[in-house]
Every structure is written in C-alpha cells, then in structure tokens.
Structure 1
Amino acid sequence: MKERTRRIFARFLRVSTPLTFEDLSKEFRISERTLRNELVLINEYLAENNYPVVTTSRGEGMKLVLPDKETKKLLAQVGDNKEKDYYRPDERFLALLLDITDTTKTTLLYEMEGKLQVSKSTLDEDMRKLRQYLNQYGISVESLTKQGIVLQGDERSIRSMLFEVINSMTDIDQLMRYTDTVSKFVLDYLDRKVLQTLGKHYDELLKKSNVETNHVYRNQITLFVAIWGRRVQEGNTVSELTKARAEIKEGPVRNFVDSICADFSLYPSLNEIKYITFTIESLKPKDMNSSFDWVAAQLLAIQLIEHVEKVTGIPFSQEEEDLYEGLYKHITGLLSRTKNDLQVFNPLKDTIKETYAVIYNAVACFSKRIEDYTKKALSEDEIGFLTVYFSTSASRMNQEEQDVYQAVVVCNHGISTGKLLASNLKRQFNIEIVAVLSSYELAFIDKLDVDLIFTSIPIEYPKKPILLLNPILMESDKKEVKAFLFEHQNKRRTISNKLDATKLIQDVLALIVDSGGTITQESYEKVEETFKQHHLKINTREIQPMLQDVLTDSNILLNQEGQDWKEVITKVAMPLLQEEVIEGRYITAMIKSVEEFGPYIVVGKHLALAHARPEDGVNKLGISVMTLKEPVHFGHPDNDPVKIVFCLAAVNSHSHIRIMKSLVELIDDTEKLNKLIVAKDMRAFNEALHGNPPIQDIQSEQKIQ
C-alpha cells in the first residue's frame, strides 16, 4: 500500500464522523477522481482482510465503523506496512543525492541502477536532473577514477543544499514517527539516535534557557546540526581561508555546541565552531539583545500591521500586544536568516496560503519592503509564518462572548500554529484554551485545570478525552469537534471574559508614585505580570509615551553642519548625552555598528535612525533629532543622501513602540518629511511634526492677546 493510501486510510480510522470527498480532496490536495481510486484500494484491503468496508450515507459522507480494538490493530498494520512499490522520481532523487554525499563509500552508477530498480536511461535522466538542481548552489557532480561519483563545491553550499532538500521532503517529527521511503533514505544518512540525542541536548541547554520557544525552529536547528556533525566527522570542513562571520560568545548556544562535540567526539576547528554557532543564532528567532536589526524589525512589524489592516479591513492595530510582539520577534530572525541564505521551512504553507488567502496575499504584497532591506527574495515559507500571526490575531478578535469548555492544545508544528488552532477552537466552539503544549510537555497537563485535549499529533493520555485534528481546521475537523463536544457536554463551564484593566494599572502606578514610591522597569514588569496572572488584559500601547512626550525642544537641532556620517551621529546624540539619557559609550557603539553592518540605520528616503543596543549605555528612554544644512552620504544605495537624523535611546523592545509608529508615519509621509527638513525655526519644526505649535508658544500668544 502506498504512503498516500495509508495516510487516507489512517484518516478514516481516526475519525468518528462522516468524511466527504470535498473535505478529503482539500486535505490531501488531490482530485476527487484520485480520491475515489484510493478509496477502492482501501476497500479492497479491508475486504481481503475480512473487515467492514467504508460506507457512504447520502447527504452525510463516508464512514468506517469498527470496534476500538480492531481500529487500533488496523492503525498499527497501516503504519507498519512494508509492501514496496517502485521508487518515485523524488525518492530516487533523494537516494542518489544522499548516496553521493556520503563520502565514506564509493557511489557507482551501475550499482545505483540495481538499488533503485531502474534502467540505465532512467538513471541517466535522474542524474541530469540532479546536476541541474545542484547548479543553482554552485555545486557540480564529478566522476573520479577511485572515488566514483562525488560532489564538488563550497562546503557551506553543500550543507545548505542538504538542509533545504531534506527539509522540503520531510521533517524531524516524521523521521521519528514514520518508516516511509523518504524517512528511510534520510535515516540511512542521519541516524535516528543521533537526531534524538541532538534533540535532548537542545531541550537541556537551549529550551530551558528560553533561547527558543517554537518547535519548528527546534527541528530546523536539530537537522542542521546533524548535517554539520556528519560532514565534520567525514572530514568535510569549511575553508580556513574564509573569514568567520562572528566571534564566539559564551552562552547557551556555545554550551549546546560544546556538549554535542563532547558527546559525539567531534574536534572541529575554531572556524567550524564559529560557523555552527553563527548558523544556530541565525536559525532561531532573535530578541533585541542578539540582533543589530532589532529597530529595523520593529519598523517593518509596524508597517506590516498597517499594510495588512488597510488591505484586509481587519482592525489589527486595535489588537493586543501579542500580534506586534510575535511579528517583531519573528522578523528579527527572518532578517538574519534571509541575509545569510538560511531557510526555515513551513510544513503548513500550502494550507495557510489556501485557508487565509486574503491575509496571505496582503503579507506577500508587503514582502517587497522586506526584500528591499535584505536584498534577497522572501520565501513562501516565511510569508506563511507571518500570515499565521495575523490569522491568530483575527481569530482572537472574533472570539465569542463566553468560553464554556476548558482544554489544552498539543501541537508540534510550532507555537504559532498551535496558537492558531487554539484561537480557531475558541472562536468557533466556545472553548477556553488554557495552554498550547508540545509533545515534550505532556506531563504539564496534570497540573492544568482542563477537561479536554485537542492535538495535531497522535498521543496517548488516558486521563482525559482526546481529539486528533489537523493544525489548521478542515471541514471534516469541524464536524469532529462538534461531535466531540456533544459527547462531552457534561464538561461545560462558565468562564468570564478578561476585562481590559489598562486604566486600572495606570491608577495603581499613579498611587505608587503619589505615595512617595518610584516606578522602575523591574517593578513595572512585576505589576504587569501580577495583572496577567489574574487574567486582567492590559493594552500596553496606551501607557507608552508618544513622540511629543519624549522629544523636547532642547533635543531638536536645526540646520546643522556635519562633515561625515560619524560626525552627524555624534552631534545628534549630544543632547541625550548632556541630559544623561545615554553614556558616552553609546555613541561609540552606534558608530561601530554602522562600521560593522553597513548603513542599515538609513531607514527611509533621506532619513537615518541612529541607535545601538540598550546595554551599550542607555539610562532611560530618549530621542533627539537633527536636520542638516548640507546632506551627508551614509553609503545607502537607495536612501542617501541623509538630510534628517534621529537618535533613539531605548531601554527595551516595547516601551518606545508609539514613538516608532510616529517615525513610520514620517517615513511614509514625504510632504511632512520635507517640511521638517526645511524648517528654519523650532515653531515651524514642531508644527510640521506634531500638527500644532509647541505649548510654550501657544501660552505666549495668549498672553499677548
């Protein structure tokens, strides 16, 4: 029985409600005609083994009715079916590639003909396609007298190619669960025990350090490190002549790499350690303290939200902080990955593209702005990830007045996908999702006050009712959920909606100040966390300062001279230095950052936003601005020369979001920007920036009158 037939068969075995041809054809992305042929094969198998066949009820759909014991028995048989069909072209491609890549043995084409059960002409055609595919990576296939067929090319390119090929055909979860042909070929090259051990190291050293929270990224890192380890063991190393991209820093990632080297007896060069450390850092999402792109990511996140809201008509700007925070963190990682040709694969991208077409297309339209920044094309996988954040937000905004079931979601496709499933369950079925867990966190269910479990992967948990669903709900899933809830309607509860406590937290903070206390970043975060623990919703944007609250007249410098970009950065930062908003080392850090990473601070036409990381010498939130008498070149190919420069001093990733939003509006408003650039005095500048004269000027006018 073929793999697709087994998966469709398993779908019938796992559901209790009728399935329609329309549901299944969408779910498995095949035509109804093909599906009917698959159903014939399934019924033939059932009849041959003396089981009832799949029956059809008019107006309802198809259903397979079996006792639980027989269902489990068949599921085991379907999963363990070893009947071998001829290899598909994609399977032959993978087998050829991995056999040639394995430098511990000699690959001879006549031997591959027998292994793959194909003729010489077919194998010649397969080799032609393989050569054509590898050409895009700058990799060639050569035939050497003693070594047989080998790959020749840059080692970095070979590793990236292997990572992308394997990722596009399978994933770690599938490798751990299934025994299909693709998994077999991959596991012949990357041992299952090796992958399990790498996953264990990840959970012990990276997950517990809060370096990563998304299961998809865990899989990406595990796979890439497995490929790296295999290549290093075989003596295939990156060139020592190539300059390492970054220095090695102490921390969880370095500890992770060290533990792997010790466990597998690897003795890589310093250059190799730098290479794999940098790769892991690039694959995982970033926060503001680990990426020089953090401000660019914030600008892009704000612009993306505004764009998608405009295109779709959905008021995303009114949504709580989760949307912005999720997008911002994802985009920081995305920028680093895209710039360094590292690809994250989204196993649900086709389903996301179809199910959320309007949002997906809006995000895809905006991707040009991201590509302008990275100078690289943005993949559909990344667009799919960004779409999920918006889909989750839209589902959350549409959720019902009351949630009457309490449940947990288990999903291994990634935290963002799990949240999407949770939001859809809440919106469509009055289900309160208490937590989204991975398969590695099942032990936490005992500690949660839940009655039902919804999962996108097969799990065993006898204590509570379980329903297996697709990560993105299909029509057949919705029918399953309705029947499941009806069966367990005695589990209903009445739960109140979260109240918006933004005004309450403002009053509490004011009381602390009135009583002689002070509000620090640490104390504020503790108060905020207390509110969240009591299910009180806080819109943090409402308690953030606006641009006019922070940008005082003393921090505005007009019509200034600057010999070069270094002098410009130094000069615009001086008001903040004099007010002790920043320390002197912050100016040095801003200049060093541009020297190292280029003119990325030129974020708009003629506009630069100078900044460094908070830990480089920021004491409190502040901003200054300077217009230039003569434009200065920073080296940006599109936005030079710079005519106006802001200096931002931020203490964290969120307290200045309203300020960033004002700057985004300024970048997109050419007319307003030009008025600022040509302003001759403070009054004209403030009128152009804020739409009205400064307060002190209004008071002066009132006195004169």
Structure 2
Amino acid sequence: MKERTRKLLTRFSSVNSFLTYEDLSKEFSISERTVRNELVLINNYLTEKNYPTIMTARGKGLKLTLSDKEREKLLLRIGDDRETDYYRPDERFLALLLDIVNPSNTTILYEMEKKLLVSKSTLDEDMRKLRFYLKDHDISVVSLPKQGVVLQGDERSIRSMLYGVITSMTDIDNLMSFQNTEAAIPILDQLVLSYLDLEVLQIISKNYDEILEKSMVEINYVYRNQVILFLGIWIRRLQEGNILYESVKSHNWIKDCPTETFVDGICKEFDLELPLNECEYITQTIESFNPKDMNNSVDWITAQLLAIQLIEHVEKLTGIPFSQREEDLYEGLYKHITGLLSRAKNNIQASNPLKETIKDSYAEIYQAVTCFKRQIEDYTKKPLSEDEIGFLTVYFSTSASWMKQEQRYVFQAIVLCNHGISTGKLLAANLKEHFNIDIVAVLSSHELAFIDKLDVDLVFTTIPIDYQKKPLLVLNPILRESDKKEIKEFLLKNKNKRRIISNKFDATSLMQDVLALIIESGGRITKESYQRVEETFKEHHLKINTREIQPMLQDILKQSNILLNQECGDWKEAITKVAEILVSDAVIEESYITAMIKSVEEFGPYIVVGKHLALAHARPEDGVNKLGISVLTLKNPVYFGNPDNDPVRIVFCLAAVDSYSHLNVMKNLIDLINDEEKVNRLIAVQDIDMFNNVLYGSEKNKLEEERFS
C-alpha cells in the first residue's frame, strides 16, 4: 500500500464521523479527483481483507463504519502493510537515536547504513538532522574510541529529550495497550518497546494504579500514561548507571505523600537504591503531572496571578464573558498552571494528542490563549508548547460550552407599523415566537424620533422609511414563509448585534443585593448576620459563589499595616520589616518570615511580580493564622536579583489561609502590577491617607494629589 493511500485509510479508520471530498482534499493537499481514485484502491483493499467498505451518504459525506474491534485490528494491519521493508525518515531518526543512547550497543555509522538499509549520504543527512535536534537540548553527539557514537549532555536533558521524542512520534495510549507480542505493532512503537521493555511499563502501570487508588488520590488519566512512559525512561537510564550527581537540598522533597509511597514501591520492584536527589527529582516530576493546590507548590501565587490574568485576557480578546463562570474556570486553570510551572522547572513537556483537534475546533479561544504565551514564558523561561496551549484552551472551551447552555442570544428590536396598533402587536408577537427577538416597542411612522432614544439593535417596519442608524428590514404585516426566510438571512447578517441573556438564576447577585439592602436600611453586617443569610440561602438550595463576595484589598489592608519611606539595607530586611507588622497583629508567626526568606534564597526572585513591586509570601502551613496583608515603600530601592523588575520600591506581604479567600485581593494587586504610573505615584507618596487615595482612588484623587503636592 502506498504511503498516501495508507494515510487516507488511517484517517477513515480513526474517526467515526463523516468526511467530505473537500475536507480530505484540503487536509492532504491533493485534488478531489485524486481522493476519489485513492478511495477505489482503499475499498478494493478493504474488500480483499473482508472489512466493510467506505460508503457515501447523500448530503453528509463518506464514512467507514466499523466495530471497535474491527477498527483496532484494521489500524494495526495498516501499520504493517508496507510496500517495502525500508525505514521511513522518522523511523530512521528514532532507530538511530535509540541505538546511540543504548549503552549495550556500540553504534558504528557504517554498520548503521546496513542496519537501516540506507546509503552513506542518506545516513549523513539523518545524523545532521539528529545533531541539529539535539543541539536545542544542549546535547551533543560525539565519536569515542571503542565506544562508537555516544551522547554527551546533562542527564536531566537527555531524559527529557527522550521523553519528548517518544511522545511526539508515538501514540502513548496505544503503546501502553499492546500485549507481550511484536505482531502487528507499528515500527515506531516496536522501536520504543525494544528500548523500554513493555513488561517494565506494565509493572509501573500496575503499581501506579494500585498505590494511588488505595491512597484515595484522584488519578489524572490525561497524564497517567505520560507519567508511566517517563518512569520507564527513568528506570532504564538508572539501570544503565546514569544518575544525577548534583547536590539538591533535601527539604524540597515532597515527603509523606502517595507519590513518595509509589516511588518507594517502584524502587523495591526494580531493586533500585537511589540517592536522595534522584528521589526528589522523580517525585517532583510525577507531581508536576498532577493538578495541585497551593499547599503542594512554591509557585501558587505565580499560578494564581497567571490564571486571573489569563481569564481577563481571553475574555477581552474573545468577548466571551468567562467571568460568569470564573469559579470553576479559575480552579481548573490555577491547578493546571501550577503543574505547568513545575514541569517547566523539570524541563518536561506534557503531550496533548488532541491539540490539532482543539486548535481547529476552538480556533478563536486557542488563538487568544496563544497571545498570552509570552506572559507565561516570562515565568517559565521556556517556550510554551502547543500541547500546553491546547490544555489551557480546553478549560475555556468547557466554560464556554456551559455558558451556552445557561444563556440564549436575543436581538432587541422595535416594530414600525401604520396598519393599526393591533397589526403591529401581531407582527411583534410573531417575531418573538419564531425568532430570538425581544420587541421593545411598537411605533407608528409619526414616532420615528423615539427610535434613537430606545436601546434596540434592529428595526422591523411595514412601511419603507429612510433610516440608516440601525439595520432595518421591511416586512409584510402578516408574515409569510418567504418573509421568515428573509428574516433568518437578515438576523444572520447582523448576528454581531445579538445580546447574551442568562437563563441562570444568579443567587450570588441576589445575596449581594440583600446584604446591600440591610446596610441601606441602617443595619450592620456582622460575621454572625452574614452567616445567617448564607445559611438561609443554602436552605432554599441557592448556590452562592463565595469568591464573589470575598474581601477586597481595602477591606484587609489596615492603616497601621502601611509603612512609608522605610530604610532597609537589603531585600531580607525589607521582607522582615513588612512582615513584622503582621506578626504583631497575630496574623502570622515568626516562622512565616523565615519561610519567605528561605524560599527566595532557594528559588530566586520569583516574588518580584511587577516593575519595582514584590509580593512576599510563603505557604499557609508555614505560619499563617488568618488572612492579612501589609505593605511598605522604600526610601532607597533594594535588589532581589530580578533583571526585568528590579530595583524594588514597594513590598507587599500576603498571608493567605487557603487558595481562594484572597482572590479579590489578588485582582486588586494585578491592577496595580499593570499600572506602572500608579506604582510610581505610590512610591512618591509621603502620607498614608494619600497612599490610600492613590491605591484605591479615581482620577479625581489623582488630581487632588497633584493639587496638594
């Protein structure tokens, strides 16, 4: 079977939906006539192998209807039906790489020519491509006496490179599903399994499922097989004597967790005795594939900043009101980004087999997320892959899908009719019944002046009028079928005028209104009264998004927690001074200050989140008693070591008790991070009242400040 024919048949065998000649022509860059010719060959092949043939359904397209078992067998057979035994370029690349990386082989290039059945010039070109690829991973290919061709580079880089190559060239899920046989296994998968050993992967799989399920941990099946594959590479490299030798501080190791238990079990299973840094390395790598909450990651504040900014960014670019489902969307993004940041530190790229489908199906959202990649790369210092962009897109597309179920689109319109008020109302009723149109008013031709005063999108009229400010359609007073078709085309042409109307009852908004009424009536909201209102809503089965009624920055930043124009010798003193206010208020313990300083010493100046601005923080378990925040401005700037945002002139200290109660505070701080002018004004302020005016104020406050300066 020719390569093009094989690819077309694989396409039909991989989907259970209709494909058109036009789609296939574009996808494979061939003419529709060529597609038809190929289908004749494919159907002959299917008939010969006793499979159903590809059938045509009028108005729908082409489809190959198979049972799951037939589909699985056919896909395996397709991979095996090749015209020759020659390796294709991608197969030669993988075969060459795995031969070189395998220490049990002595790779001699002229011997590889025979093994791969290629000429010297072809192998030279293959080696050139391999060297070019490895260069991006800081790995070189060298020839050594008696050892042949070998790889030289950092062990972490070699492991990550192997993982990246295998995930990009094979279907991991299929790889894990093969039994202990090489029959009907595609060449690429055979090469991988000959290097990693299927039995080893199956042992890892068994331990992974058993230990994590017994530990009541939610297994992330999106990443499960990727973790198992990486572990297979890790074990193979360890067994060959390739161990990380750099010194790693032991307190980073995630101890007493299911992952540690799992790693211990794997070590016993394969009789591995590991140094502490290897245990820490593999534990953190596995954890990076699992969405995590703040208690498991030093990057929790960074992840929150990025999640909030990403939601605002995508909402702005797409016009989709994602803030309406912010609770679920934020939680998914935050946990995913935490894992993403961790993977970047370990130089691991998650594989997303559906990225092309996601890119095509949700093009607008995918493009919007892509436009945000630089902000993420500023933190990771690594390119953001299309795989990760695809994962992030899914969170948004899921929210958008839910919103569509909770919302409807409507046009707001008026009706102009000179045939009497009853006829006009009948036309209005018909428009509302058959289409998503809300009629705001029924007017006569003498009332044209009112159109500009009404909040409407469209004008429907039974009389021709000269009006060009809004889209207009002339109709018969009594709608005919031809009118309905014309209306459909008119609405489609003006679909950008639609409005989103929510079908969802907003209990959160109702509760906020109730609380506002209590205040307006002279009452006072206390913790107890708030809890009673909340319980009343719950008793009536009304779900409240508590994050929407969380405290703002001005609610928790007390006057006494603002220090201006302070002198500090270095960044450690600045953190200590801004945090000591919270210690005196029993918001945090002294241990929290130690944890913040230690974290910067170990992980670098990641707390410098904006130009001249640092957000000092540690994890809740490091000594937080309650939610709190403090701030100081510096007379002389200090340097944290951040090349983009140093020197620092303002330091906030955040004490958070959980992942969510401070989110509105984070939104306030993001606004500040994005407003360098406001930061500069805060630095210059000498008075606490003026500091608050600038921090929370409007343009009016700004003018007052300038008047008194």
Q: Distance in 2 between matches of 1:169 and 1:536?
A: 49
Q: Distance in 2 between matches of 1:675 and 1:334?
A: 35
- CA-to-aligned-CA distance 1:238-273 (integer Å, 9 cap, x gap): 235788894463322221111011112222333332
Partner of 1:439: none
Preserved contact between residue 155 and residue 243 of structure 2 (Cα < 8 Å): yes
Q: Distance in 1 between matches of 2:57 and 2:528?
A: 74
Give the CA deviation at 1:630. 2.5
Secondary structure at 1:631 match in 2: strand
After superposition, where does 1:303-702 map in structure 2 within 5 Å? 303-399=309-405, 499-502=505-508, 537-691=543-697
Q: Distance in 2 between matches of 1:377 and 1:581?
A: 39
Secondary structure at 1:392 match in 2: helix
Partner of 1:302: 308
Q: 1:99 to 1:391 in 2, by over 3 A?
A: same
Does residue 79 in structure 1 map to residue 80 in structure 2?
A: no
Q: 1:653 to 1:37 in 2, by over 3 A?
A: farther
Preserved contact between residue 686 and residue 692 of structure 1 (Cα < 8 Å): no
Secondary structure at 2:127 match in 1: helix
Secondary structure at 2:368 match in 1: helix
Secondary structure at 2:630 match in 1: strand
Q: 1:206 to 1:34 in 2, by over 3 A?
A: farther
Give the CA deviation at 1:367. 1.7
Q: 1:75 to 1:27 in 2, by over 3 A?
A: farther
Bigger mean CA deviation after superposition, 186-195 or 498-507: 498-507
- CA-to-aligned-CA distance 1:671-701 (integer Å, 9 cap, x gap): 32233222222321222122279xxxxxxxx
Partner of 1:98: 98
Q: Distance in 2 between matches of 1:321 and 1:665?
A: 19
Give the CA deviation at 1:505. 7.9
Q: Distance in 2 between matches of 1:661 and 1:59?
A: 51
- Residue 671 of structure 1 aligns with an amino acid whose one-letter code is E
Does residue 281 in structure 1 map to residue 281 in structure 2?
A: no
Give the CA deviation at 1:163. 0.9
Q: 1:32 to 1:653 in 2, by over 3 A?
A: farther
Q: 1:282 to 1:224 in 2, by over 3 A?
A: same
Give the CA deviation at 1:25. 5.7
Partner of 2:256: 250
Bigger mean CA deviation after superposition, 648-657 or 308-317: 308-317
Preserved contact between residue 620 and residue 658 of structure 2 (Cα < 8 Å): yes
Q: Distance in 1 between matches of 2:29 and 2:261?
A: 43
2:224 to 202, 218, 242: 218
Preserved contact between residue 6 and residue 79 of structure 1 (Cα < 8 Å): no
- Residue 175 of structure 1 aligns with an amino acid whose one-letter code is L
Preserved contact between residue 576 and residue 623 of structure 1 (Cα < 8 Å): yes
After superposition, where does 1:75-224 map in structure 2 within 5 Å? 76-80=73-77, 82-84=80-82, 85=84, 86-177=86-177, 179-206=185-212, 209=215, 213-224=219-230
Partner of 2:54: 54
Q: Distance in 2 between matches of 1:685 and 1:162?
A: 54
Preserved contact between residue 566 and residue 591 of structure 1 (Cα < 8 Å): yes
- CA-to-aligned-CA distance 1:204-262 (integer Å, 9 cap, x gap): 33455466653232222211111010111122222357888944633222211110111
Give the CA deviation at 1:351. 2.7
Q: Distance in 1 between matches of 2:50 and 2:291?
A: 52
TM normalised by structure 1 equals 0.75
Preserved contact between residue 627 and residue 662 of structure 2 (Cα < 8 Å): yes
Q: 1:228 to 1:51 in 2, by over 3 A?
A: closer
Preserved contact between residue 369 and residue 389 of structure 2 (Cα < 8 Å): yes
- CA-to-aligned-CA distance 1:270-298 (integer Å, 9 cap, x gap): 33323322332344433211221111111
- Residue 339 of structure 2 aligns with an amino acid whose one-letter code is G
Give the CA deviation at 1:315. 1.6
Q: 1:599 to 1:13 in 2, by over 3 A?
A: closer
Bigger mean CA deviation after superposition, 618-627 or 365-374: 365-374
- Residue 159 of structure 1 aligns with an amino acid whose one-letter code is R
- CA-to-aligned-CA distance 1:476-521 (integer Å, 9 cap, x gap): xxxxxxxxxxxxxxxxxxxx9875443688899x9xx99979979x
Preserved contact between residue 676 and residue 689 of structure 1 (Cα < 8 Å): yes
Partner of 1:44: 44
Q: 1:686 to 1:131 in 2, by over 3 A?
A: closer
Partner of 2:474: none
Q: Distance in 1 between matches of 2:251 and 2:92?
A: 36
Give the CA deviation at 1:133. 2.1
Q: Distance in 1 between matches of 2:30 and 2:269?
A: 45
Bigger mean CA deviation after superposition, 19-28 or 610-619: 19-28
Q: Which ranges in structure 2 are unaligned for 5 or more consecutive residues? A: 179-184, 409-501, 519-524, 700-709
Give the CA deviation at 1:31. 7.2
Q: Distance in 1 between matches of 2:655 and 2:339?
A: 22
- Residue 369 of structure 1 aligns with an amino acid whose one-letter code is Q
- CA-to-aligned-CA distance 1:594-635 (integer Å, 9 cap, x gap): 122222111111111111110011111111122222322222
Q: CA RMSD in A?
A: 3.7
Q: 1:628 to 1:149 in 2, by over 3 A?
A: closer
Q: Distance in 1 between matches of 2:33 and 2:543?
A: 50
Q: Distance in 2 between matches of 1:661 and 1:218?
A: 34
Q: 1:2 to 1:62 in 2, by over 3 A?
A: same
Give the CA deviation at 1:560. 2.3
- Residue 76 of structure 1 aligns with an amino acid whose one-letter code is K
Secondary structure at 1:646 match in 2: strand
Preserved contact between residue 76 and residue 186 of structure 2 (Cα < 8 Å): no
- Residue 154 of structure 1 aligns with an amino acid whose one-letter code is D
- Residue 396 of structure 1 aligns with an amino acid whose one-letter code is W
Partner of 2:452: none
Give the CA deviation at 1:187. 0.8
Preserved contact between residue 3 and residue 180 of structure 1 (Cα < 8 Å): no
- Residue 237 of structure 1 aligns with an amino acid whose one-letter code is I
Q: 1:361 to 1:535 in 2, by over 3 A?
A: farther
Give the CA deviation at 1:650. 0.2
Preserved contact between residue 556 and residue 625 of structure 1 (Cα < 8 Å): yes
- Residue 379 of structure 2 aligns with an amino acid whose one-letter code is Y
Preserved contact between residue 253 and residue 283 of structure 2 (Cα < 8 Å): no
Percent identity for Structure 1 against Structure 2: 66
Partner of 1:489: none
Give the CA deviation at 1:636. 1.9
Q: Distance in 2 between matches of 1:692 and 1:129?
A: 58
Q: Distance in 2 between matches of 1:224 and 1:106?
A: 24
- CA-to-aligned-CA distance 1:13-53 (integer Å, 9 cap, x gap): 68776431244567789875764454233112134357664
Q: Distance in 1 between matches of 2:657 and 2:31?
A: 55
Preserved contact between residue 321 and residue 540 of structure 1 (Cα < 8 Å): no
Q: Distance in 2 between matches of 1:502 and 1:614?
A: 27
Preserved contact between residue 211 and residue 261 of structure 2 (Cα < 8 Å): yes
TM normalised by structure 2 equals 0.74
Q: Which ranges in structure 1 are unaligned for 5 or more consecutive residues? A: 403-495, 694-705
Q: Distance in 1 between matches of 2:123 and 2:586?
A: 71
- Residue 73 of structure 2 aligns with an amino acid whose one-letter code is A
